Structure 1
Amino acid sequence: MKPIMRKLIATLMAVAMFSACTDDLTLKPISQITNTSFWKSPEEARGALNGMYVRMRTQAATNFFVWGEARSEMWVQNFGFDPSINFFAFANSLSRVNPGPDWTAMYSVVHDANMILKYVPTIQFTAESDKNEILAQAYAMRAFIYFMMTKTWGDLILLDQPTEGFDPSTIYKERRPQAEVFAMIKKDIESALALFPSNNIPTGRVRWSKPALNAFKADVFLWTAKRLNGGAADFNTALTAIAEVEKSDVQLLGDFSQVFAFTNKGNKEVILAVRFAEGESTGRSVFGGVTPLAAPTAPFTPQSVIDKLLPYSGKDGYWQMSQLVTKQFSDDDARKNATFIEVNQTKEGVTSFLYNIDQKWPGVITGGVRVMYDDLILYRYADIILMKAEAQNGLGQDPSEAMNMIRKRAYGAKFAAHTFVNGTKAANDEAILQERLFELAQEGKRWWDLVRFGKALEKVPLLKGKTENDLLFPLGETILSLEPLVKQNPGY
C-alpha cells in the first residue's frame, strides 16, 4: 500500500509528540526520531500508545458514525445539500466514484499498533505488568480496527507487522478472505486478554481494558455467530465474555439521560469511550443540528423549545432523525425525550412538523457557542445487557431478564405495560433489535445491528430491491488505483 505506507513511515514523528497520561493527551516535542533512537524507554512506549489513540480518535470523530449508522433508516436529509463525501452513505448511493470514507487512515492505526507490538517488547520496564498492558492495548486496538473495517468492506489486506520500507513485495498485498480476518481478530483478542494484568477499568474509561476487551469480544462473536455460521459455539463464547464484563465495575445508571450528560463523562455505565475535550481535539462531527435557514426561531415555535435548542451552531444541519424512527418511540419511554426533540410550529390553530433534532450528544455551550466535545461511547453496559439477550435467544434460552432490565429503566413506573414476555426465537430477535434501536440510537450501532440481524434490506427504505452485495461499502477509485492487487467488492 505504497501511498498509504509512505504516510505511515512518518508515524513515529507524530506519535512521539504525545506523553503518557490518564484522561488527556498532552504534547511533548521530541526531535530527530528514528526507529533505532526512539524505542528506548517506557516513556517513549507510552508516547507511541497515546499517538495510536489520537489517530483512532480522528476516525471516531466522524467516520465511526458514518460507517456504523449513516446507512440505516435512522437519518433523512434535512435542509440543503450535504457537500461532504458522507452524503452518499446517508443516501445509500455509494459507488466506486463516491465510496464514502476510505480505509487509509484506519490502516494508519493498524500501523501504530504494529509498531508497538514489534518494538515495545525490546524495552526494559521497571514493572513487566506495565509493558504487558501497553501490548494488550495495541492488540485490542488492532483487532478493533480490523473488526470495523471488515464489517465495512469485507475481505481486507492483513498486516501483522509494520511496513517500514518501500519494496513492492512488501507494500502491495491482496485482500484476504473475511474468515482469515476474523481469525486474526480473535487471535489478537486472546493475546490481549492474556496480557491485561487486572480486570480494572482505567480512570476516564477511555483506554482499552480487560472489561472493554470482553465487551468487544462478545460483539465479535455475536457477529460471527450470525454472519459467519458460528452458531451455538460463538453464542456461548459471547455469553462467557459478557459474564466477565459483569464481574467488573459497571452498572446501569438509574437515569438514562445521565449516561450522556456532558458533566458525567466516564460514568459507571461506560465501558469504553473515545474522549473529546476542548483544547485537546477538534471535536466531533455530530449530526442532527439545524441550519440558520431553519433555526428554531421560526415563527410560532414554542419559546421553551427555542430556549433549549439555541445556539444551534456546532452541528451538521444536513441530516435529521427520520420520522420513520422517531414515531416508533412510546411517550412512556424516558429514552424518547433524551434522544430527540420533535420541533413543531402551531399557526392559526394548526400544528405542523418542522424537524427532529438529536439530544444524545448536545455538546456544551462555551462563550455563547455550542461546541461538540461529547465523548463517543463505544461500549456501555446497557449494550452488553442487550447483547446477552441476543446471545441467549440465539441459543434458545429465555432473554426476558436481560430485556426487562433495560425496559425497567426506560419505562419506570409504567414498566408493567411494557414488560417483555418470552416468545418464539424469531419474535424475540425482532424485539431485541427494536430494543437496541430505542436504547442505542445515535450511538453508531444501528447499521451494524441491521446487518447482523439480517434486517437491513427489509428495514432501510433506500435499500429496497438491493442485494447482500450492497451491504458492503465499495472501494473507491483512489484505493483501486493505488493498490494494484486489490479487487473491487461485488456489485460495484
Structure 2
Amino acid sequence: MTRTMKKSLKIIIVGIHIGLLGGLSSCETALSPDPTSVITNASFWKTEDDANGALTGLYVKLRSLANLNLFIWGEARSEVMEWGRLSGTLDYDRYYNNTLNPTSAGPTWQTIYSAINDCNLILQYVPGISFASEQSRNTIIAQAYTARAFLYFVLARTWGEVPIRTEPLEGYSPDDIHKARASLVDVFQLIKQDIQTAESLYADNSFPGGSRNYWTKPGLYALKADVYLWTGKKLDGGETDFNVAIEACNQVGQADVALLPNFGDLFKYDNKNNKEIIMAIGNKEFEVGNNYFYNMYSARLPNDLDPITGEVIGQTSGGVVWTVTDLVKDQFTDEDTRKDASFIEWQSETFYPTLIVKGRGVLISGVRYFTSDFIVYRYADVLLMKAEAKNAIGQNPEEEINQIRQRAFQTNFEDYRFVNGSPSANDDAILKERLLELVFEGKRWWDLNRFDKAFEIVPSLQSRQQDRYLEYFPISEQVLSLEPMVKQTAGY
C-alpha cells in the first residue's frame, strides 16, 4: 500500500464517516447532532490514489463485518453450534437457542450501512476523477456496485425489508438518514440492478493480479447465482431466476477455478488464494484482531495433553464459548475426508471439547492467531448452487453433487455416489451436502431458510412452527431510537 493510499484510507475512516450511522469503532453509539470534519469531500476526491484509498477503506469495513457478524447472521442460529462448556456463553446462546428479542437483538445493521456508505461515496465521486486508465476507474466502480449488492443481500436475508440508501451521507440530515423499510421487491430490484451494472464494468472474467481478496467478475457471478437462487425460491422468481442462477454458475466455471484435490488443503494458512477460492475477505497476522473462530478455542488445556498435541492447539487467551453440536458431527461418516478437516474430537473432551479446524489461522511461536481469510464464495459452493437450481427446474443434479462427493470420499466414492431421485429427495441431499461441505463458513442459517427447513431441522425451532417471523432478526431498540421511521420486524 502506498503512502498516499494509507493517507486516503485514514481520511476515509476517520474523516468522512463521522456523521454516519455507526462505524468501525462507534457502531453502538448515538448520532452526533452536528458532526464536523476538517477534511471535506471537496478536498479529498481528487486523484486515483484517493479512489484506491477509499476502496481500501471499504474492504476494511468488510473485514470488520467478517470477523464475527457475518457468521452470526449467516450461521449462528442454525443447528450447528452449542455451548462450549468451558466458558460462559458470551450471550451467544441467544442465537442457537433462538431467543432473540429487541433488547437482545444481536449485531445491528449500522455496521453494514457504514460499509454501504463507503460504496455510495465511491459511486458518487470516482466517476469524476481522472485516471491513467479508464478500465482502472471502471474496476473500482464495479467493485463498489458488487459490494453494495452483497451488503444489501446480507441485509435482506437477515432482516427482510430494510431501508434503501443509495446516496452518501456526508453530514447529519434527518431527511437523508431517516428512511422507512423498503419492500423486499424493491431491495432485490436494487441488488439485481447493481449486479447488472457491475457486470458491464469488469474487464474480463479473471482475478487481476492473482488475488482473490477483492470482488472480481467471477465473484460477481457467484453472488449473482446466490441472489437469483434466493429470489427463485423466496420471491417467486421461479424457472426464470433458476436459469439465470445456472448460467451465472457456468460463468464462474469458465474462470480460473477448480476443486482442490484434497479438501483439507483449502483451509491451510499458507494456501490462501488457492484456485477454489472465488472471493475471500483477507486477514493477516499482526494486522487485525481475531475472528469468530477465536471463541471456539480455549486457553485451558487438559493436564494429560501430550506436548505435540498442545503445540497443534497452541496458546490463546480465549475460551470455548461455543462448539459444534453432536447433531452435526454425527452426520459425518468416517470415510468423509471433510470430517477431520472440519473438526477434531479429543479423548480429553472433559477438558477440551471438539476442536474446530476450519478457520483456525496460524501458529506463531506457540501462539495461535485467528487470521484465516473469511471465504465468501468458493467453487464447491457454486457447484452446489448449480445443483440446487437444476433440481428446481427438474434437471438432473448428479454431475455437480458427485464432483463434490468424489473429492470428499476419494477411494470410497462409489459407496457414496449420488443417484438422481425425486426433486424433494434431491433437495434433502443437496441441503445435507451443503452442511458437510460448508459448515462453519457462515452459510447454514441462510441455507435452511432458502430451503424452508429451519423450523424442521433446528432443535430450538421445532416446537415453534407457527412463529415464522423468527426467520428474520429483530431490530434492536437502539436502532429504533435512532431511526424513527423504521418499524420493528413483524412478530417481535
- TM-score normalised by length of structure 1: 0.90
Q: Which moved more, 1:205-214 or 1:273-282?
A: 273-282
Match of 1:96 in 2: 102
Q: 1:305 deviation in Å? A: 7.9
C-alpha distance in structure 2 between counterparts of 1:36 and 1:354, whole Å = 56
The AA in structure 2 aligned to 1:263 is: D
Match of 2:475 in 1: 475
Structure 1 portions without partners, runs of 5+: 1-9, 18-30, 347-351
Deviations 1:118-170 (A, max 9, x none): 00011011211000000000000011001001111111110111012323222
Match of 1:268 in 2: 275
Match of 1:119 in 2: 125
Match of 1:310 in 2: 313
Aligned residues: 461
**Do 2:323 and 2:353's aligned partners in 1 also have CA atoms closer than 8 Å?**
yes
Q: 1:307 deviation in Å? A: 3.9
Distance 1:355 1:80, change over 3 A: closer
2:455 paired with 1:457: yes
Secondary structure at the residue paired with 2:292?
A: coil
Q: 1:14 deviation in Å? A: 3.2
2:63 paired with 1:57: yes
Find the partner of 2:50 among 44, 67, 70. Answer: 44
Find the partner of 1:408 among 402, 406, 409. Answer: 406
The AA in structure 1 aligned to 2:444 is: R
2:232 paired with 1:196: no
Secondary structure at the residue paired with 1:286?
A: helix
Q: 1:198 deviation in Å? A: 1.4
C-alpha distance in structure 2 between counterparts of 1:338 and 1:485, whole Å = 47
Match of 1:319 in 2: 322
The AA in structure 1 aligned to 2:486 is: V
**How large is the RMSD of aligned CA atoms in angstroms?**
2.1
- Identical-residue share of aligned pairs (%): 43
C-alpha distance in structure 2 between counterparts of 1:16 and 1:171, whole Å = 15
C-alpha distance in structure 2 between counterparts of 1:281 and 1:82, whole Å = 25
Distance 1:12 1:304, change over 3 A: closer
Secondary structure at the residue paired with 1:272?
A: strand
Find the partner of 2:366 among 362, 365, 368. Answer: 368
**Do 2:299 and 2:319's aligned partners in 1 also have CA atoms closer than 8 Å?**
no
**Do 2:82 and 2:93's aligned partners in 1 also have CA atoms closer than 8 Å?**
no
The AA in structure 2 aligned to 1:71 is: R
The AA in structure 2 aligned to 1:148 is: V
C-alpha distance in structure 1 between counterparts of 2:363 and 2:351, whole Å = 26
Deviations 1:90-121 (A, max 9, x none): 33110001000001111000000000000001
Find the partner of 1:333 among 336, 340, 343. Answer: 336
Distance 1:372 1:314, change over 3 A: farther
Match of 1:23 in 2: none
**Do 1:15 and 1:51's aligned partners in 2 also have CA atoms closer than 8 Å?**
no
C-alpha distance in structure 1 between counterparts of 2:175 and 2:61, whole Å = 27
- TM-score normalised by length of structure 2: 0.90
Deviations 1:224-271 (A, max 9, x none): 111111111110000011111111000110010001100000000000
Q: 1:310 deviation in Å? A: 2.8
**Do 1:276 and 1:284's aligned partners in 2 also have CA atoms closer than 8 Å?**
no
Secondary structure at the residue paired with 1:355?
A: coil
**Do 2:71 and 2:292's aligned partners in 1 also have CA atoms closer than 8 Å?**
no
Match of 1:490 in 2: 490
**Do 1:287 and 1:358's aligned partners in 2 also have CA atoms closer than 8 Å?**
no
